[in-house]
Structure 1
Amino acid sequence: MKEAISTYDDILVMLDHLLKEQSKFNWDHFYSERDRGVPFFVNSPDENLVSYFENKILRRGKVLELGCGPGRNAIYFAEMGCSVDAVDLSQESLQWARVRAIEKNASVNFINENIFELKIAEGEYDIIYDSGCFHHIAPHRRMSYINLVRKALRPDGFFALTCFITGGEHGGAEISDWDVYRTMSLKGGLGYTEEKLRGIFNEFKEIEIRDMLELDPANHLFGVKGLLTALFQK
């Protein structure tokens, strides 16, 4: 790779590689151990996502899921009649997701790609959903993330995410953006507050920001402490 900086994109790519070089974490290895007691491995949709449909805020349409993991939310969207493109960097997670989709007879277009390298038409999607991807996005990529959401959503489209609360039970590093580069680490995932999400996504209309509800798995919904849920409209 050419190690020269002549454009803004060159700076982003350099910072991507420097953070990756310092990290020992591997997403394919993470998803290969499917029997571990990882809360996010359950095959149930987020309780907030289900509530958006039950309250008729979201309706069937074309969906882009960012960082879909083993596919639990993508499959739910498909079951609700949506056309779904679900993206993840991990081949291992997508293999698992495809098995789950077949078991539920759900049609999902799973894509193995970096979200910042997607080829997306302007206003292509009615809904963009992110459950657990955003808190793994480094600060230097936030502008790229916002630009992706802005471009991909049609006018009046919805963007929803679930992310770590600062100091949460499952993650949520309480560090400044500068500290990410001082330590060259996201500390397992950055933590957010309601105020910080409002500031980052201030160009979108806020529909709801709240703590995820803690639910018994018997409800067949995913709900745990330590996560924030948010719904915005373009």
Structure 2
Amino acid sequence: MDRHIRAVEDVLRLLDGMFSTDAAWWDRFYADRSRPVPFFAAKPDENLVSYLDRGLISPGRALDVGCGPGRNAVHLAAKGFDVDAVDLSSTAIAWARDRAREAGVAVDFRCGDAFAANGPYDLIYDSGCFHHLPPHRRISYLALLDRALAPGGHFALTCFTTDEGSSRPDDDFYRTPVLDGGIGYTPESLRWIFADLDEVELRLMREQPADSPHFGAPFLWTALFRRRPEA
């Protein structure tokens, strides 16, 4: 039987089909663990470490969206968080589970759709997932935050600047449905998209030397937002 559109999710799935990046693509991306890719190393993001060191976030229940090989999820677990971590790639999840075992921490790694996660979470962390989503999936992303982020909880994001990611307008992605490796954002666009949250900090990621225990690349924005407590 032909599938007909009768709900917003039907429209979103139809638009998903215009873009070629899927779980199989990410499985190939993560297949070779020996590749000298800086963010493949078992190093947490420098901004995440900074948030913890300055007391901007504190241990609670956390969700790592698009966790990849688990470097940030493992760090959060080591700092006392109860961590759920989700990625579309089964290859990335297998690697992440190995890392957690080696570090001696417990993380609930799941292969699947992060948009299906339920909360409440005190922290939702995203390092490199958001900028790989086509524009229409921001609807699902904001719905996830609205449903799963606890009142007073924090949302932390690391994503491409326009120097690294594509700066094409949204409508152009549907004329030429290729994400150009990822979408670049400006501070103004991030503030507009996440306007329902209070900004705590928004800055460029600080570049880290090769021997640093932390990951940092200057072509990424780091943003920390807080959901307003319920009245």
Aligned to 1:74: 73
Alignment of 1:55-204 (within 5 A): 55-118=54-117, 120-121=118-119, 124-168=120-164, 172-204=165-197
3-state SS, counterpart of residue 175 of structure 2:
helix
Tell me which amino acid in the other structure corresponds to 2:17. Answer: H
Distance verdict in 2 for CA 1:98–1:226, change over 3 Å? same
Aligned to 2:222: 229
Q: Is the 8 A contact 2:23 2:89 kept in 1?
A: no
TM-score (norm 2): 0.94
Distance verdict in 2 for CA 1:23–1:233, change over 3 Å? closer
Aligned to 1:206: 199
Distance verdict in 2 for CA 1:193–1:85, change over 3 Å? same
Which runs of 5 or more structure 1 residues have no equivalent in the other structure?
Answer: none
Q: Is the 8 A contact 2:24 2:89 kept in 1?
A: no
Provide, for residues 99-156 of structure 1, a one-character-per-residue CA deviation record: whole Å limited to 9, x for no partner.
11111101100011112233x14xx110000000000111111021011012111111
Q: Is the 8 A contact 1:23 1:185 kept in 2?
A: no
Distance verdict in 2 for CA 1:16–1:8, change over 3 Å? same
Q: How many residues align?
A: 227
Q: Is the 8 A contact 2:64 2:124 kept in 1?
A: yes
Provide, for residues 152-186 of structure 1, a one-character-per-residue CA deviation record: whole Å limited to 9, x for no partner.
11111000010011122xxx111110111111111
Provide, for residues 175-233 of structure 1, a one-character-per-residue CA deviation record: whole Å limited to 9, x for no partner.
11011111111111000111110000011000000000001132200011200000000
Provide, for residues 2-36 of structure 1, a one-character-per-residue CA deviation record: whole Å limited to 9, x for no partner.
4321222111110012223x889700000001222
Which runs of 5 or more structure 2 residues have no equivalent in the other structure?
Answer: none
Aligned to 1:18: 18
Distance verdict in 2 for CA 1:2–1:109, change over 3 Å? farther
Distance verdict in 2 for CA 1:129–1:24, change over 3 Å? closer
- Point out 4+ residue stretches in structure 1 off by more than 3 angstroms: 22-25
Distance verdict in 2 for CA 1:126–1:24, change over 3 Å? closer
